[in-house]
Chain A
Amino acid sequence: MLLYVTDALDASEAADIRAHLATGCPECAGSLAEAQALVAHLPHALDLIAPPSSARERLIERVTSHDQTNASNASMPIPQAAGRGTAKRLFLTGAIAAAIGALISAAVLYLPIREQAKLVDNRNVQLVSLAGAGKLQPEARGRIFWDRQSNDWHVFVYDLKPPPAGKEYELWFITADQKKIPAGILTVDATGKASLKVKVPQNVGPLALAAVTDEPTGGVQQPTGSIQLVGELK
């Protein structure tokens, strides 16, 4: 949630989180509240600057004039009263559709987002951004949460195009001396999302890159396909 409240997420990632929060997940609502409270603490360290007194007057004037307008509108007949039922029905239909949409989203997104929120809050976790490679995957992007303590990679990718027939997307560890080590297959769902948890092999030396290529189904031991996503490990 720290990334969400600090506007560090892509628009579609933020939209996913908003949709997930709309499902009422109590754990994520709690994480959001905690992250917002933390960020809201920061201004307290600033030297305060007094606002001009005209601001207070303008606010009071706006409140007063609005209340007067409301009071005079309240005495007016409401036109098209019959239409309000229609509006109410439309609202209910929309609300039901939204609820169904939220339930579907929850089924797909619940685990990854909650998982990601926990990982982001873990100080032992290093974040690595994955970017789509050129024209092949212009929209694709992803994130690796590298838990330095357990040495696990938690990989989440978004907006990947479906792989060509007979192919799958394979993740690679690439070391500083250019060794390519297979890290697992990313199975993309209908919305272009995929996730994978994989242990970083021991004694491979420092890692420099993470990459995803398209490879024959079942994966290969050395990359043969084109790079679809890549991220630098700093």
Chain B
Amino acid sequence: MASVAARDPKSLQVFYDRYSPLVFTVCLRIVKDRSEAEDLLVDIFWELWDKSDRFDAKRGSPITYLLTLARSRAIDRLRARRKDVTSDVSELSPTAPTPSPSVASVSAETARAVKSALAELEPNQREAIECAFYEGLSHSEIADKLNKPLGTVKTNIRQGLIQLRAFLRKEYRSET
């Protein structure tokens, strides 16, 4: 990330090759439109490049920054659009490219940890979290979709995240 900040185009390409599938997947899950997700992907990496001074290593890792940016921009786009979406993201084939072996193994480890942590949650917590973070729905939209009171949705998300954090802490502690 430091070399991206130093405006080295090759570093940006390496960073893009590593993380673009993750960013594209997040965007596509939220906006549910391939061409919009592609536009977002380009805009997000462009913003990363053009405004690299906004990244502060003391505040978190580059991937946290990138994924926070991706989710935020995708939700902005979704809320600005507010149109019916017809494509079903579950029909899209998961055709991940093969990143470098080290990245792939780190990603696989993280994926395994997050999946097992999600599996430990109560179903209503998991469902609310997935709506919020994989579909970009607001809490009110989740309440409508799941036909539950807004307060219950907020509680489920918050309690789910607290448990998720505890599971992940335990998971990472047991690996070290």
Q: A127-B151, A232-B151 are in contact. Are A36 and B118 (CB under 8 A)?
A: no
A39 close to B (CB within 8 Å): yes
Residue B68 is within 8 A (CB to CB) of chain A in the complex: yes
Q: Separation in Å of the A225 CB from the closest CB of chain B? A: 25
CB of A88 closer than 8 Å to a CB of B: no
Chain A neighbourhood of B37, CB < 8 A: 51
Q: Quick check: is A209 within 8 A (CB to CB) of the other chain? A: no
Mostly, the A contact residues are helix
CB 8 Å contact bits of B20-36 with A (1 = contact, 0 = none): 11111110110000100
Indicate which residue in B68, B94, B159 contacts A36 across the interface (CB closer than 8 Å).
B68
Considering the complex, give the chain B residue whose CB is closest to the CB of A121: B162
Q: Whose C-beta in chain A lies nearest to the C-beta of B129?
A: A42
A6 to B64, CA, bound (A): 14
Q: Is the CB of B94 within 8 A of A51?
A: no
Residue A55 lies at the interface, judged by CB distance under 8 Å to chain B: yes
A44 touches B59 (CB 8 A): no
Q: From A44, A54, A127, A234, give the contact of B158 (CB < 8 A).
A: A127
Contact residue range for chain B? 35 or more
Taken together as a complex, chains A and B put the C-alpha atoms of A37 and B67 apart, in Å, by 9
Are A234 and B12 in touch, CB under 8 angstroms? no
User: A46-B25, A49-B92 given as contacts; is B138 within 8 A of A7 (CB)?
Assistant: yes
Partner of B46, one of A35, A50, A62, A67: A62
Q: Which of B21, B29, B157, B161 has the most CB of A within 10 A?
A: B161
- Judged by a CB distance under 8 angstroms, whether B96 is at the interface is yes
- A40 to chain B: which residues have CB within 8 Å? 60, 63-64, 67-68
Tell me, rounded to whole Å, the shortest Cβ–Cβ distance linking A55 to chain B.
5
CB-contact partner of A63 in B12, B115, B133, under 8 A: B12
Across the interface, do B24 and A46 meet the contact criterion of CB distance under 8 Å?
no
A123 within 8 A of B: yes
- Complex: how many Å from CA A46 to CA B115? 9
Q: List 8 A-B contacts (CB under 8 A).
A: A2-B158, A3-B158, A33-B59, A40-B64, A43-B71, A44-B110, A47-B96, A59-B41
A positions within 8 Å CB-CB of B: 2-3, 5-8, 29, 32-52, 54-56, 58-60, 62-64, 66-67, 120-123, 126-129, 232, 234
